[in-house]
Amino acid sequence: MGSKFEGKVAVVTASTDGIGLAIARRLGQDGASVMISSRKQANVDRTVQQLKEEKINAHGIVCHVAKSEDRKKLMDEAVSRFGGIDILVSNAAANPSFGPMIETSESAWDKIFETNVKATFFLCQEAVPHIESRGGGSIVIVSSIGGFVPFGLIGAYSVSKTTLFGIVKGLTSELAARNIRINSIAPGIIKTKFSQALTDNEDVANEELKHIPANRFGRPEDCSGLVSFLASKDADYITGENIVVSGGMTSRL
């Protein structure tokens, strides 16, 4: 186990699977106490047990990030259990709409922005006083390369991820005055449950790989190392950045 984050506390949302779990595990391996969360208690229990077996100091709680009472409870539980918060990783996202963007319903837009955008902002708002009280820290938002180059059948989701880049830029100066850095990562196609429609269909996968110079899909661990770096003292002069993790896929807004 590393000591880079010894004495530090990290809160990671949607952290019982995929990218979120990889991030929580890496921060824990690097010495942080980790508060994980999911919408399902069974997933929380399974993941906490798994991380503890890996000698990671972990605790978890059910949190539906679109609910204000759940967001507050998550932060309060981290402070109660571990004594404070130094790092926030906002990873939770939803996408109820697949198909042409022009056909996206109002209810789908509401769900996507409620979960992906508003909840991310209010998680930051909820965490900032706790982080500031510890002398400062780091916030990392998990966005998507779709925020730069929208994916065809998940256009509204992609636009929500573009908005997260704006949140990072908008909060940079305010949070710097509190000694808090904020950045986002923009993963490309990472092999998770969310991307199975792209990665598990051989014909679709081969077509997508033509656009990835690294010639492979990403792994959740390809994101976790960058988050650990951004949350660490090694990144002390990096804030307000949206960093792509895509194996070389085109990424320009």
What confidence tens digit (pLDDT) does each residue in 80-116 have? 999 999 999 999 999 998 899 999 999 999 999 999 9
**Residue owning tokens 């180059």:** 149
How do residues 16-25 score in pLDDT, each as one tens digit? 999 999 999 9
Largest CA distance in the chain: 52
Structure tokens at 61: 């709680």
Alpha-carbon Rg for the chain in angstroms = 17
237 is catalytic: no
Q: Are 198 and 204 in contact (CB under 8 A)?
A: yes
Which entry of 5, 148, 157, 217 is annotated as an active-site residue? 157
How do residues 109-143 score in pLDDT, each as one tens digit? 999 999 999 999 999 999 999 999 999 999 999 99
DSSP letter assigned to residue 114? I
DSSP letter assigned to residue 32? -
Strand segments, DSSP code E, in the chain are 9-12, 33-38, 58-62, 87-90, 137-142, 180-187, 242-245
The pTM score is 0.95
Q: What single letter denotes the amino acid at residue 164? A: L
CA distances from 235 to 66, 69, 181, 182, 202 (A): 30, 32, 9, 11, 39
Q: Are 67 and 120 in contact (CB under 8 A)?
A: no
pLDDT surpasses 80 at 64: yes
Q: CB-side exposure of 45: number of CA atoms within 13 Å?
A: 3
- Domains of the chain, each with CATH number or no CATH: 9-192+220-245 (3.40.50.720)
How do residues 195-211 score in pLDDT, each as one tens digit? 777 788 888 888 889 89
Look at residue 183 in the predicted model and tell me its pLDDT.
98
Helices (H), 106-192: 106-112, 119-133, 155-176
Measured distance CA(53)–CA(60) in Å, rounded: 14
Look at residue 253 in the predicted model and tell me its pLDDT.
65
Structure tokens at 126: 């909820």
